[in-house]
Amino acid sequence: MIGIVIPAHNEEALLDGCLAAARTCATHPALLAEPVRIVVVLDACTDDSAAIAHRHPVDIETVDAMNVGHARAQGARHMLAAGARWLAFTDADTLVAPDWLTVQLALRADAVCGTVDVSDWREHPHHVWEKFRSEYCDRDGHGHIHGANFGISAEAYLRCGGFKPLSCHEDVDLVHALQATGATIAWSAAPRVTTSARLASKSRGGFGDTLRNWAQPVPLPPGA
């Protein structure tokens, strides 16, 4: 069995699309009918995220931590208890490709770090999109770590200690722990996801904050 883990904090605007995409990839023919379960970890939600999740055939966990590391770890525990051999992580503002799982598994690594594409740049000035296009490495060997596009075998996850309850960079911490165990990591651009570039990002210090910092006015040189 394969488990997909999706943490969510007040994601009523985007959660429905996220779950629809996850359910599509869970039925990809290349999986050869291997069962795929999806768990949504509702973290301190005060909007309609719970009602939206309940409209889909997914497992639901509820926590009140306001902490993405805690939420990912809870989702992982849920899936490991259900017998998952592979854990795939994404975010509630992200759409995974139909072959997302099959591509992760085909890489035959202990863990897979994928890249992200951005769906909509309308909230940002043009120079932010230009900076992303010029500086972001969207190819194999990239070196990026995104909780929105990450997969790991159950064995490797348990061996490295799993996600810590960190409010940010919990994914980076986990990958560093994996590297310390000698795990094989595929830094691949093949598993595709499309994520949000919204200004109102949920996690401080993450991808959204990076884009927001890039959007700050560029200071003029002296004498300009």
pLDDT computed for residue 53 by the predictor: 98
Per-residue pLDDT of the chain (224 residues; tens, 9 = 90+): 999 999 999 999 999 999 999 999 999 999 999 999 999 999 999 999 999 999 999 999 999 999 999 999 999 999 999 999 999 999 999 999 999 999 999 999 999 999 999 977 676 676 776 788 788 999 999 999 999 999 999 999 999 999 999 999 999 999 999 999 999 999 999 999 999 876 565 655 556 555 555 556 554 445 54
Q: Which amino acid is at 22?
A: A
For 63, the 3-state DSSP assignment is: strand
pLDDT computed for residue 119 by the predictor: 79
For 79, the 3-state DSSP assignment is: helix
pLDDT computed for residue 224 by the predictor: 47
CA–CA separation, 83 and 87 (whole Å)? 10
Structure tokens at 131: 């900076």
Q: Considering the entire predicted model, what is its pTM?
A: 0.89
Residues pairing with 4 in the sheet? 38, 88
Length in residues, the chain: 224
According to DSSP, residue 29 is labeled G
pLDDT computed for residue 132 by the predictor: 80
> Which domains, ranges and CATH numbers included, belong to the chain?
2-214 (3.90.550.10)
Q: Are 109 and 184 in contact (CB under 8 A)?
A: yes
Angle of helix 170-180 relative to helix 68-81, nearest 10 degrees, comes to 60
Contacts of 4 (CB under 8 A, 6+ apart): 22, 26, 36, 37, 38, 39, 88, 89, 90, 101
The DSSP line for 128-162 is HHHHHHHH---STT-----TTSEEEEHHHHHHHT-
